[in-house]
Chain A
Amino acid sequence: MSEFFADPYQFYAAHPGWLFVTATLLPLLSFVLIFLASGAWALLRRYRDDHPAAERMYYLFGGDVGGRGAAYVATGAIGLAFLLSLAGFLVFTFVDGDQEAARDRHESAIKELREKLVAGKGDRKEVEQDLREQEGALAAQDARWAGRSDWLRIFPGITNDPRRGTVLQLGFRIDSLAALMFMMVTFIATLIHIFSIGYMGEELEETVEDHHVHGEHGPLRRRGRFGRFFMYLSLFCFSMLNLVMADNLFLVFVSWELVGICSYLLVGFYFERQSASNAANKAFIVNRVGDAGFIIGLLILWTYVGTFNFEDLFRQVRCPVRDTQGGLVLGGQFVRGDLEPKENGAQTLRVTAPDDAAGASALLFPRDPSGDFHGVGPHGLEAINWDQVGTVEVHASPEKGQFGVMPYWMLVVAGLGIFLGCVGKSAQFPLHVWLPDAMEGPTPVSALIHAATMVAAGVYLVARVYPLFTPEALLVIAYIGGITLFVAASVAVVMTDIKKVLAYSTVSQLGYLMLALGVGGWTAGLFHLMTHAFFKALLFLCSGAVIYGCHHEQDMLKMGGLFPKMKITALTMLAGVLAISGVPTFSGWYSKDAILAQAFGYVYVHPGHVLLFLLPLVTAGITTFYMFRMWFLTFAGRPRDAHVYEHAHEPPWLLTIPLIVLAVCSVCVAWGRQPLNPEESFLAEKIGESQPASVIADFGRVENDPLWKGGRLKDEAHSERYYAQDMGWLAGDLALGLTILGVVFASLLYYYRVLDPAESQQQFPAVHAFLTHKWYFDEMYSAIIVRPSLVVAHWFKWFDLHVIDGAIHSVAYTAVWVAKWDGRFDNGVVDGLVNVVGRSVSGVGGSLRRVQTGSLRGYVLFLVLAAVGVFLLLTWWVTLVLAG
């Protein structure tokens, strides 16, 4: 810290990774500021009429429209975060551009020096000195872009194995993917903040009328919530950036939940509306289902591997890429085998050949994060020719506890669990139902959270933990993606709400991303993630501009012919439509073709999974169709609703500038040195630099892949990735043909009106009903899950009311009855006895007091009489005694 305050410039030059950390913390700062200021503001509002000082302070904070400051703070913070990310990215690319080469140099030098040391050549001291220098240089290079510190220490006594997890860490690691994500998120978020200042303008009013909610006295009137909106946006940006830079799964999980709660808050922003609060609940609850899987995955990894750190996890689960001996044996592969105990307490390591996956049931990994397999055995594994020997027994026993064993199916479950979390967050089938409902939130939120960033978090996480996914898990991912993209696209075709079309389009595109990752198109999937973020944010903001211009009309059937009235919006939206359709030279073309090519390559190798290519191919045509349908219905043709048309207007510049910027980005964000050559895309190249080695291990290697020097790998000419590169043009051309077909159909139906859409609806009423009911997913969940749980809840309610409450009531009644009788006994017998004693004492006293007459003569008389009485008594007694 002191280093930072002494000279910030020097600090950032030495630790450029902290540029990104600062960029992450800025929105958090903005959130805290707005939170505290709005708290103070609300407090002052209460006392403003009583104390002049409070009133002055109140107006200092902005008076009745105090929220505007919040917008500036939030926008400033995220804008600055973008500039920092940009600076960080530039440093990453151009200052540390040859990072890999430098790493290689250091590593090979270290290897040589170590060998020298072992062989005893040269001056020992000098060699050791050099070794230290080289190692220091390597560590310093890593420290530039990463950092971590302990956060929580779990009580170590829980487990006896010191290598099991005990510490949760805070940490960040920037690679080119994270840097690009940072730029993308902060850039789009900045534009959306600016857009929101205009779009949410009416929230600045002292009282806002919500025409969607009707109370007893007309529409609901409430205070404007401008500041709150920006507060939530800031918190969201912080969570998202934190998720992107996290270097361990636990921190990802924390950010994951933070992102979820922001989504909940923003979807339910108009929480007075029943539909909005329902949608918020639905989004949150559906995501919980996914998170349950996520937690299961986390626990499995924590139990078996003992760390959440990405690097450590991958280094243990997968064999290291670089071999200390120079020869590469198992690089990037899962190592499967068994650890068998021997009679004398030692163990034998039995390793199965990489391709012979059926041979062993367990996954072997070195317990020490820095350990690897190559030191094992008398000759090391690299000396073994796997083609001749199926299974290898390493005779020299490894030290006890040096190797961990994890059932292979456990890793499959862990991968699927983490993927289930991503299914929830990225709205994949079957948990996609929340996203279309989430359109109840304000439109900028839909653009930021539900198109560009949050839903991308799931895809991002799949990409991040890619080496953890076994081939089985990847196949599931691919199929889930394939189903999602088709289902969502088919529903989008019949939607008439402009935002719902975009929502389903988002779900469909996310399906593309998952499919791409599942079939080995790591780079392609993330490439599409980036381009999609731009054009989907653009499309959503355009729809926001249309909604704003049409006074909150969202039904496309009431629009039409708006082109002359809102030219900028229409043209920018057209750019987005062309981009998502994959028209050549628009950004979507590059990325979608890459995905289709990879899917084609996969299907070529595994013909059984032909659906994985057909679904995205057909959906490419459907996508074009529904996007053009949306554009035609909104902007082309004759106006269908005179009222909407009359009031429609181009939104102010605050809204249109972000549109124009995003439109430009949507067109050219994927361009490279030669804009028209898809192979040259700069963005794809940068993303590819972060590609984990496991992609190559699982899906084969192509010509320009770095790192690979040999070893046992799939034959170059028969791998999925090879065919994707070699024959991908075929997939691209097919998709282009279907795109053209989609445009033609859309224009025939909705522009030239050669075919009547209403007529085709009547021709296929069953299909139309099926699609407008969104494949009956909501109805199905309602029937399978919601209703049964309600029925069970009612049962429990009855049980609770009658049995449990009944038992408690009867106990209470008995107690009351007993108490009543006890009370009677107490009042009657015990108190009675005491009262009788008291009363008799009082009575005796009362009668005795009459004797005290106060008459002196009376007393004397008593005295005399008493004396006489005593005398007589004594006489009588004496007589008696004497007589007898």
Chain B
Amino acid sequence: MSEIGLTHYLLLGAVLFVCGAVCMATKRNAIGILMGVELVLNGSTINFVAFAHFNETFEMEGQVFALFVIVLAAAEAAVALAIVLNFYNNHASVDVDTAEELKG
């Protein structure tokens, strides 16, 4: 086994991303979907950090984007949770399949 390199980090990020995507696609619970979103974001954050670490050209940018994604995730979670709470108040459920009133 060789030393842990860029490929391993990228693989981890990809796994996390796929897990998050599958979670979003399969969960009916809104909270679950939010968790999936977090996974996807974190997968991408790992990619940014990995590239920042292994590629000098992207050293600064990678770090900044990672922080930016974390802030974004926090904001997203706050807004999304507020929507979910409101949805729950109106429908007494957090099942996203019932939220189809805006369909075309």
* A contact residues vs B (CB 8 Å cutoff): 848-857, 860-861, 864
- CB-CB < 8 A to A856: which residues of B? 33, 96-97, 99
Given A856-B96, A856-B99, A857-B96, residue A851 in contact with residue B25 (CB < 8 A): no
Within the complex, which residue of A848, A849, A850, A857 is in contact with B25, where a contact is CB–CB below 8 Å?
A: A857
A854 touches B25 (CB 8 A): no
Within the complex, which residue of A848, A852, A860, A864 is in contact with B103, where a contact is CB–CB below 8 Å?
A: A852
- CB-CB < 8 A to A861: which residues of B? 25
Q: How far does the Cβ of B35 sit from chain A's closest Cβ, in whole Å?
A: 13
Instruction: Give Cα distance in the complex from A856 to B101, angstroms.
Output: 12
Q: How far does the Cβ of B36 sit from chain A's closest Cβ, in whole Å?
A: 8
- CB-CB < 8 A to A852: which residues of B? 102-104
B90 within 8 A of A: no
Q: How far does the Cβ of B10 sit from chain A's closest Cβ, in whole Å?
A: 14
Kindly identify, within residues 71 to 103 of chain B, every residue whose CB is under 8 Å from any CB belonging to chain A.
96-97, 99-103
Which A-chain residue is minimally distant from B37 (CB atoms)? A860
A854 touches B21 (CB 8 A): no
Within the complex, which residue of B24, B28, B99 is in contact with A854, where a contact is CB–CB below 8 Å?
A: B99
B104 touches A855 (CB 8 A): no
B33 touches A850 (CB 8 A): no
Instruction: Give Cα distance in the complex from A633 to B104, angstroms.
Output: 113
Which one of A848, A849, A852, A857 has the greatest number of beta carbons of chain B within 10 Å? A857
The 8 closest A-B pairs by CB, nearest first: A854-B103, A852-B104, A854-B100, A849-B104, A856-B96, A860-B24, A860-B25, A852-B103
A855 touches B97 (CB 8 A): yes
- CB-CB < 8 A to B99: which residues of A? 854, 856
A-B contact pairs, 15 of them (CB 8 A): A849-B104, A850-B104, A853-B100, A854-B100, A854-B101, A854-B103, A855-B97, A855-B103, A856-B97, A856-B99, A857-B24, A857-B97, A860-B24, A860-B25, A861-B25
B2 within 8 A of A: no
**13 further contact pairs, Cβ within 8 A, besides A852-B103, A855-B96:** A851-B104, A853-B100, A853-B104, A854-B103, A854-B104, A855-B97, A855-B100, A855-B103, A856-B96, A856-B99, A857-B26, A857-B97, A860-B21
- CB-CB < 8 A to B102: which residues of A? 852, 854
- CB-CB < 8 A to B25: which residues of A? 857, 860-861, 864
Which A-chain residue is minimally distant from B26 (CB atoms)? A857
**How many residue pairs at the A-B interface have CB separations less than 8 Å?**
36
Kindly identify, within residues 26 to 76 of chain B, every residue whose CB is under 8 Å from any CB belonging to chain A.
26, 28, 33
- CB-CB < 8 A to A853: which residues of B? 100, 103-104
- CB-CB < 8 A to A854: which residues of B? 99-104
- CB-CB < 8 A to B33: which residues of A? 856
- CB-CB < 8 A to B104: which residues of A? 848-854
Which A-chain residue is minimally distant from B100 (CB atoms)? A854
Which A-chain residue is minimally distant from B95 (CB atoms)? A856
Instruction: Give Cα distance in the complex from A848 to B104, angstroms.
Output: 9
- CB-CB < 8 A to B26: which residues of A? 857
- CB-CB < 8 A to A857: which residues of B? 24-26, 28, 96-97
Which one of A850, A857, A860 has the greatest number of beta carbons of chain B within 10 Å? A860
Sorting the interface of chain B by its residue count into under 10, 10 to 19, 20 to 34 or 35 or more gives 10 to 19
Instruction: Give Cα distance in the complex from A852 to B102, angstroms.
Output: 8
Instruction: Give Cα distance in the complex from A852 to B99, angstroms.
Output: 12
- CB-CB < 8 A to A848: which residues of B? 104
Q: How far does the Cβ of B46 sit from chain A's closest Cβ, in whole Å?
A: 17
Instruction: Give Cα distance in the complex from A368 to B21, angstroms.
Output: 124
Instruction: Give Cα distance in the complex from A853 to B102, angstroms.
Output: 8
Instruction: Give Cα distance in the complex from A92 to B40, angstroms.
Output: 134
Instruction: Give Cα distance in the complex from A848 to B103, angstroms.
Output: 12
Which B-chain residue is minimally distant from A849 (CB atoms)? B104
- CB-CB < 8 A to B28: which residues of A? 857
- CB-CB < 8 A to B97: which residues of A? 855-857
Which A-chain residue is minimally distant from B103 (CB atoms)? A854
Which A-chain residue is minimally distant from B104 (CB atoms)? A852
Which B-chain residue is minimally distant from A851 (CB atoms)? B104
Which A-chain residue is minimally distant from B22 (CB atoms)? A864
Q: How far does the Cβ of B13 sit from chain A's closest Cβ, in whole Å?
A: 14
- CB-CB < 8 A to A855: which residues of B? 96-97, 100, 103
- CB-CB < 8 A to B103: which residues of A? 852-855
Instruction: Give Cα distance in the complex from A856 to B94, angstroms.
Output: 12
Q: How far does the Cβ of A108 sit from chain B's closest Cβ, in whole Å?
A: 124
B21 touches A864 (CB 8 A): yes
- CB-CB < 8 A to A849: which residues of B? 104
- CB-CB < 8 A to A851: which residues of B? 104
Q: How far does the Cβ of A848 sit from chain B's closest Cβ, in whole Å?
A: 8
Instruction: Give Cα distance in the complex from A861 to B27, angstroms.
Output: 12
Q: How far does the Cβ of B49 sit from chain A's closest Cβ, in whole Å?
A: 21
Which one of B24, B33, B99 has the greatest number of beta carbons of chain A within 10 Å? B24
Q: How far does the Cβ of A178 sit from chain B's closest Cβ, in whole Å?
A: 105
Instruction: Give Cα distance in the complex from A859 to B96, angstroms.
Output: 12
Which B-chain residue is minimally distant from A845 (CB atoms)? B104
- CB-CB < 8 A to A860: which residues of B? 21, 24-25
Instruction: Give Cα distance in the complex from A851 to B104, angstroms.
Output: 7
Instruction: Give Cα distance in the complex from A851 to B103, angstroms.
Output: 9
Instruction: Give Cα distance in the complex from A864 to B40, angstroms.
Output: 12
Q: How far does the Cβ of A722 sit from chain B's closest Cβ, in whole Å?
A: 128
Q: How far does the Cβ of A678 sit from chain B's closest Cβ, in whole Å?
A: 125
Q: How far does the Cβ of B11 sit from chain A's closest Cβ, in whole Å?
A: 16
Instruction: Give Cα distance in the complex from A849 to B99, angstroms.
Output: 17
Q: How far does the Cβ of B8 sit from chain A's closest Cβ, in whole Å?
A: 20
Instruction: Give Cα distance in the complex from A295 to B95, angstroms.
Output: 109
Instruction: Give Cα distance in the complex from A44 to B97, angstroms.
Output: 85
Which one of B33, B101, B104 has the greatest number of beta carbons of chain A within 10 Å? B104
Instruction: Give Cα distance in the complex from A854 to B100, angstroms.
Output: 4
Which one of A853, A856, A861, A864 has the greatest number of beta carbons of chain B within 10 Å? A856
Instruction: Give Cα distance in the complex from A860 to B99, angstroms.
Output: 15
Q: How far does the Cβ of B75 sit from chain A's closest Cβ, in whole Å?
A: 20
Which A-chain residue is minimally distant from B27 (CB atoms)? A857
- CB-CB < 8 A to B21: which residues of A? 860, 864
Instruction: Give Cα distance in the complex from A850 to B104, angstroms.
Output: 6
Which one of B25, B28, B97, B102 has the greatest number of beta carbons of chain A within 10 Å? B25
Instruction: Give Cα distance in the complex from A57 to B59, angstroms.
Output: 112
- CB-CB < 8 A to B100: which residues of A? 853-855
Which one of B33, B100, B101 has the greatest number of beta carbons of chain A within 10 Å? B100
Q: How far does the Cβ of B30 sit from chain A's closest Cβ, in whole Å?
A: 8
Which A-chain residue is minimally distant from B28 (CB atoms)? A857
Which B-chain residue is minimally distant from A848 (CB atoms)? B104
Instruction: Give Cα distance in the complex from A855 to B33, angstroms.
Output: 13
Q: How far does the Cβ of B33 sit from chain A's closest Cβ, in whole Å?
A: 7
Instruction: Give Cα distance in the complex from A855 to B28, angstroms.
Output: 10
Q: How far does the Cβ of A847 sit from chain B's closest Cβ, in whole Å?
A: 10
Q: How far does the Cβ of A114 sit from chain B's closest Cβ, in whole Å?
A: 120
